[in-house]
Chains A and B, each alone.
Chain A
């Protein structure tokens, strides 16, 4: 069927307010009597809190309150932040996040008390007047050392720093290694920094003493998770806490949990009976917003004489930070994400999740898949080097052939169900990317460049990312009595263009244009349930809900109009906001139908319709969908300075049917830029005592317009068979293979020196070091 809006690169509906400065972000919320907060944060990675004295701070004019553990606990039902503890029954109790530590602080930057004042300026003045007597304790910093039995413990009361150990395995890997012709090992150090949305976190909480209810504005990715967490903490039900999310200035995983700050600000509003605002500054984002951080990988890959993979085995040590804030998502994804689009017959990865005295580590855009991809692609480059095979040929040999689709992978999903790749063509994806990047003629370019003393390299990475995770997402389409169409969803807009995408889907069925549909995200009072934005899931889940809800509204409108106009349903069409009899001017506007359905006098309703011109659908995907892609990068390395310049960046991505190709491409661009940051720039440093040594954007480098190249993107659109619209996710697709592809190109450029790169990010300084080492070794 030819679509009017689905699949079209429409310009965004969101832009006008954002371009004129009239959008409302969290720091723009104004309420009468609004007070502002600042946090007293632990300067120590690990310390006992022996005594607190708030009196000097309280004496400062303009300060309304200083609250610590004892004050806050009076209005909270628990010391702990409500969090998903799935699979964590046997974790030490100390690993679960606390609201405010009672007597032991476990990372530098942990909130110990809140100051509420007339302005943020005064609140910050007062923070410096709060006196806390700390007794510093030894800290766990490097996760490898922290895993040792005699290491300083991240929590005094924990049995040790290893939160859990688990294995992801299938087949008989050890026998496969015994039988294999070749075995190669790779040891990797991987690091991903923080989320670093340009807008930080933030919250405005207000409490209505008469009703006992909270209204909370929050810059969150997951409003319902925030609602559920806060209602539990204050002993309320769903009606007791309303979360409203204003415009969100990016999130990328950094706004996907209930943080201590959220609970504390809300408690302060409750205690004071006055609204309180806190907006995170960048230093706080470095100190106390989640990161993905450090992992150490020891891997082996076994192959036959032609490089066909026989098995993969290895170990991961994962730095979880001081608290388990979102289960094992990152580390588990790492353990299942390695094979991706390749045939890997036998497999075992052992993972140790280790606590350190740093802020909790949870998924940042990509969620462990970038690390898994880096590991796989580094192994394949090692095999190619060892067997003197072309890297593209080796990959082609190991990719799952298109004829084998749908392919049941021996890996189990996170839920323990089979992994089934429903459709796609991975070899074609790679072939197209190589052709687009002129891979065949690269050697000529490399030789010419060498004649000028320049070092060029080319890198390849194939990726696969789980997307579209359920169990559901909500969409409600409502036509009001005025005829206006509003679509409510539990999906959360935070910059992706969710409003436009969902409006396109809705308008497709209702005979209106997308601008006639108002999409409302981020309000728990109008959308009672939802999961929100993470894991490249929303277009797949909410998109299909919206599709079905809009169809239902259409059917209902036609049924009511047929009844009122006394014509057959098949003679009616929906266009321009009315249902009309085809080829005549007899029509019934949607507003009249909506009125009829909401019980207006003078209208009779067909017997079998429910009241209201509205439909609610919670599409439940039968399984996750998989996005795949191939990145090919050509880069130049300055061997004197270690500087890397990306010359070309070619992407072929398959996220199934695209609702809006323009916005899809934007997702790929942004995601890939994030991955380039992970490859070359972003490093969240801590010293050996777990003290952060990177706390601003001068020390932590985000990629800028001069380092990010022009992306050449092509989309394959193998429609998923698992949802009616044929969608797969896209938000993280660009991020996953970027570090692998970029570093493969850098290593390739330095091939003549024999440099091997086993870490990400790689700084210019480190590259020069590796070049010098390699020169000395030869």
Chain B
């Protein structure tokens, strides 16, 4: 009954392909076909932001996108954030240092949202950060650690890019 299609895409810099059902969510493809379980599902209806990944550099909800729509695109997930697989990206370091996570379930979505945001807004103030994060839900932290982490990361990203 199911239509299956071949897809080929880049995930965290690696060429990946697969044969998938048309209805398969990108999130499920990443999690269960590629084993990249760092991307989480918190609502499956596009509100919580836990499933956020970068699609061609843009923060995108992988619960609202089909795997077949990612054909030919380049995806970055939380696993691809630091090249060494350690928590060495300035955002990861800042989340650790500013207690920006508790259960950590929402965290990959916040990280990926912030990667794009800080690229486009290298010097945000607190209000801008809060606005940028208003599409991601966290039940544990009350957001303050996350906001502080984002501000700290923006400073260290500016430093490393020599601005």
Contacts and interface: CB of A to CB of B under 8 A. Distances in A.
Interface of A: 11-12, 14-25, 27-28, 61, 121, 196-200, 247-250, 252, 281-282, 494-497, 662-663, 665-666, 668-674, 696-698, 702, 704-706, 708, 710-711, 734
Given A19-B96, A705-B129, 12 more contacts: A27-B37, A28-B37, A121-B23, A200-B42, A249-B40, A282-B43, A282-B44, A495-B140, A662-B99, A702-B139, A706-B134, A708-B143
A250 B99 contact: no
A333 to B, nearest CB: 21
B10 to A, nearest CB: 17
B95 A710 contact: no
Q: In the A-B complex, list the 8 residue pairs whose CB atoms are closest, starting with the nearest.
A: A21-B38, A495-B103, A18-B104, A249-B105, A669-B142, A673-B142, A697-B47, A495-B102
Contacts of A282: 42-45, 48
A259 B145 CA distance: 33
B63 to A, nearest CB: 10
Nearest to A695: B45
A571 B88 CA distance: 44
B92 A20 contact: yes
Nearest to A17: B104
B1 to A, nearest CB: 8
A547 B153 CA distance: 36
B42 A666 contact: no
A20 B104 contact: no
A198 B44 contact: no
Interface stretch (B54-62, B65-73, B76-84, B155-163): B76-84
Contacts of B40: 25, 27, 198-199, 249
Contacts of A248: 103
B131 interface: yes
Contact of A197 (B44, B96, B105): B105
A254 B143 CA distance: 21
Given A23-B104, A495-B140, A669-B142, A198 B96 contact: no
Nearest to A198: B42
A496 B95 contact: no
A697 B104 contact: no
Contacts of B133: 704-706
Interface in B115-150: 126, 129-131, 133-147
Contacts of B147: 705, 710
A248 to B, nearest CB: 6
A19 B111 contact: yes
B137 to A, nearest CB: 5
Nearest to B92: A19
B75 interface: no
Contact of A494 (B24, B41, B103): B103
Contacts of B111: 19
Nearest to B21: A121
Interface string B24-49: 10000001000011111111110110
A21 B78 contact: yes
Nearest to A699: B47
A196 B142 contact: no
A198 B50 CA distance: 8
Contact of B141 (A18, A252, A670, A706): A670
A34 B38 CA distance: 20
B23 to A, nearest CB: 7
Contacts of B19: none
Interface string B77-113: 1110110011100001001110101111111100100
A20 B97 CA distance: 15
Given A495-B140, A698-B47, A666 B103 contact: no
B142 A672 contact: yes
Contact of A281 (B44, B141, B144): B44
Given A11-B96, A21-B79, A198 B143 contact: no
22 contacts: A17-B104, A18-B107, A19-B107, A21-B78, A23-B38, A25-B40, A27-B31, A27-B40, A197-B105, A198-B40, A198-B140, A199-B42, A248-B103, A249-B104, A281-B44, A666-B102, A670-B102, A670-B139, A702-B137, A705-B129, A708-B143, A711-B144
B139 A20 contact: no
B91 to A, nearest CB: 9
A704 B142 CA distance: 8
Contact of B103 (A249, A281, A662, A698): A249
Contacts of B145: 666, 669
Contact of B77 (A21, A673, A696): A21
Contacts of A672: 142
Given A16-B86, A20-B38, A28-B37, A250 B50 contact: no
Contacts of A734: 142
B140 A247 contact: no
Contact of B142 (A17, A25, A497, A708): A708
Given A15-B101, A18-B107, A21-B79, A697 B86 contact: no
Task: Give the residue among A19, A702, A706, A734 with the most B Cβ atoms within 10 A.
Answer: A19
B98 to A, nearest CB: 9
B104 A14 contact: yes
Nearest to B132: A705
A572 to B, nearest CB: 36
Contacts of A495: 102-105, 140
B102 A696 contact: no
B78 A20 contact: yes
A705 B130 contact: yes
Contacts of A674: 139
Contacts of B137: 198, 697, 702, 704
Nearest to B146: A705
B86 A696 contact: no
Contacts of B96: 11-12, 15-16, 19
B150 to A, nearest CB: 10
Nearest to B106: A198
B136 to A, nearest CB: 8
Given A25-B105, A249-B103, A696 B95 contact: no
Contacts of A22: 38, 79, 85
A706 to B, nearest CB: 4
Given A27-B41, A121-B21, A666 B99 contact: yes
Nearest to A707: B134
A565 B41 CA distance: 57
A250 B105 contact: yes
A19 B95 contact: yes
